[in-house]
Amino acid sequence: MDNFTYCTPTKYIFGSDAELQAGTQLAALGINNVLVCYGGGSVVRSGLLERVETSLAQSGITFVELGGIQPNPTDPKVREGIDLCRRTAIQGILAVGGGSVIDTAKAIAAGVPYDGDFWDFWAGKATVTEALPVGVVLTIPAAGSEGSGNSVITLLDGMHKISLRTDFALRPKFALMNPELTFTLPPEQTAAGIADMMAHIFERYFTTTPDVEVTDRISEGLLMAIIDQAAKVMAAPTDYQARANIMWSGTLAHNGICGTGRREDWVSHFMEHEISAVYGVTHGSGLAVIQPAWMTFMAHHAPQRGAQLARRVFAVDEPDDTLAALQGIACLKAFYRSIGLPVTFAQLGIDHPDIPLLVAKLHENKGPEIGGYYRLTPADTAEIYRLAL
Ligand code: NZQ
Ligand code: ZN
């Protein structure tokens, strides 16, 4: 196991009516004027936004709204939010939604106190040292942004979808997590969220670090629980306990616990970010297509971790590592299909993906060789994209 520092300062408040604590939690942080960020309207239709804003008013907190944040969020909305915050003396940001809303809120939070262009942080030209405090009311378990220090934004100029990773600066101060808020999710968003949280575990599970039995077992346990609970939420979307288990899994998958003391990979995410940047697909659906393809490549080049995953999570009984890994991938794809996810580009609605373009953008954004588990050249990543056809 490698040395590590682990600190997740986010306060999680979990359960029915958690969203009603928005006002008191912000007030406890000394915030009395907040920017409320939300997406395309689901929180308006469900009445959630009104409940949250009532809670703010009851705590004497004034607010300004920034709605219309789209999935796979882009830089113009961030710039609009930064400008709004500066004009209205905003002290903190409340994200009411999923990863796209939270990531936009984080980007605005980083940009407001910064003199230069906020994209400098995503371009690697500057480091976030100061940010407005961010609170979250989570409506979809998927991206794990409520517990991560990351923010994924697409720069429209060139369609560069980049994940900024910070240790502490952009971790939310609190996350209000009421599983009932997820009852209204369309089945395809529930399923995509499940694929995303599983992907966050896989990215850490495929490691070259030896002797990481504790985080291996945490990861395997989480994956088995997600697979078990997924069938329940898909069959009964208002099953509170199943929704609760899935919601907490999404946070644990990405708040760093599964990656402590081990080298991580992240190539499947990098490859998917190019797909969602170019084709606008849902991140989790893109992962359901590309991650099994990445695993298939690994089964032929570095099969050990895939074989262990197959034996321990999917109960594959096969002594040969490559064959075991391939059987595990077949089980994973069957699971994805069982909850309605695509597992090929065509099923994702992309009949003829522009693989040279995806590969060129991938390596332009991430470098000539990528991957923590196994180093991949452009020829390798092109092969992985082809495996997903
Ligand atoms: O926009 P509205 O109308 O709210 O609808 C949203 C949106 O269309 C809908 N939705 C959310 N909660 C709902 C609901 N519909 C009904 N009832 C509810 N309770 O779901 C759609 C997707 O929302 P989005 O926020 O895009 O989902 P998700 O949480 O999957 O976020 C995806 C984004 O996060 C990034 C992805 O790349 C993508 O841009 N990621 C962020 C990460 C991070 N910050 O740590 C890590 C991830 O790996 C990921 O890359
Ligand atoms: Zn993800």
pLDDT at 212: 98
Question: Which ligand 1 atom is at minimum distance from the Cα of 193?
Answer: 30
CB distance 179 to 232 below 8 Å: no
What ligand has the least distance to the C-alpha of 96? 1
Distance 193 CA to ligand 2 centre (A): 9
One-letter amino acid for residue 351 of the chain: D
Distance 163 CA to ligand 2 centre (A): 10
The DSSP line for 259-306 is GTTS----HHHHHHHHHHHHH---HHHHHHHHHHHHHHHHHHH--HHH
Hey, what long-range contacts does 54-57 have (CB within 8 A, 24 or more apart)?
55/19, 55/20, 55/21, 55/22, 55/23, 55/24, 56/22, 56/23, 56/26, 56/94, 57/23
The DSSP line for 45-63 is HTSHHHHHHHHHHHTT-EE
Angle between helices 187-205 and 213-235 (to 10 degrees): 170
Separation CA 158–CA 7 (nearest Å): 35
Three-state secondary structure call for residue 249: helix
Please provide residue 318's backbone torsions phi and psi, each rounded to the nearest 5 degrees: -150, 120
Kindly state if the Cβ of 148 falls inside 6 Å of ligand 1: yes
**How far are the Cα atoms of 145, 157, 205, 211, 370 from residue 250, in angstroms, in the given order?**
9, 31, 15, 25, 26
pLDDT at 312: 98
What ligand has the least distance to the C-alpha of 282? 1
| From 46, 51, 140, mutation site for ligand 1 pocket: most ligand atoms within 8 A of C-beta | 140
pLDDT at 27: 98
Kindly state if the Cβ of 226 falls inside 6 Å of ligand 1: no
| From 96, 182, 183, 283, mutation site for ligand 1 pocket: most ligand atoms within 8 A of C-beta | 283
Kindly state if the Cβ of 172 falls inside 6 Å of ligand 1: no
pLDDT in tens, the chain (389 residues): 999 999 999 999 999 999 999 999 999 999 999 999 999 999 999 999 999 999 999 999 999 999 999 999 999 999 999 999 999 999 999 999 999 999 999 999 999 999 999 999 999 999 999 999 999 999 999 999 999 999 999 999 999 999 999 989 999 999 999 999 999 999 999 999 999 999 999 999 999 999 999 999 999 999 999 999 999 999 999 999 999 999 999 999 999 999 999 999 999 999 999 999 999 999 999 999 999 999 999 999 999 999 999 999 999 999 999 999 999 999 999 999 999 999 999 999 999 999 999 999 999 999 999 999 999 999 999 999 999 99
Distance 200 CA to ligand 2 centre (A): 6
In this prediction the pTM is 0.98
The DSSP line for 294-347 is HHHHHHHH--HHHHHHHHHHS----SSHHHHHHHHHHHHHHHHHHTT---STTT
Distance 72 CA to ligand 1 centre (A): 8
Separation CA 35–CA 80 (nearest Å): 12
Question: Which ligand 1 atom is at minimum distance from the Cα of 189?
Answer: 20
Separation CA 151–CA 295 (nearest Å): 25
Question: Which ligand 1 atom is at minimum distance from the Cα of 43?
Answer: 4
Distance 286 CA to ligand 2 centre (A): 10
| From 189, 197, 290, mutation site for ligand 1 pocket: most ligand atoms within 8 A of C-beta | 189
Separation CA 110–CA 125 (nearest Å): 14
Report the candidate in 135, 134, 96 with the shortest Cα–Cα distance to residue 112: 134
pLDDT at 341: 98
> Which two structure tokens, joined as six digits, stand for 296?
């298939």
What ligand has the least distance to the C-alpha of 192? 1
Question: Which ligand 1 atom is at minimum distance from the Cα of 161?
Answer: 37
Give kind and range of the element (H or E) at residue 83: helix 75-88
The stretches of 206-239 forming alpha helices (DSSP H) are 213-235
> Which two structure tokens, joined as six digits, stand for 147?
């517990």
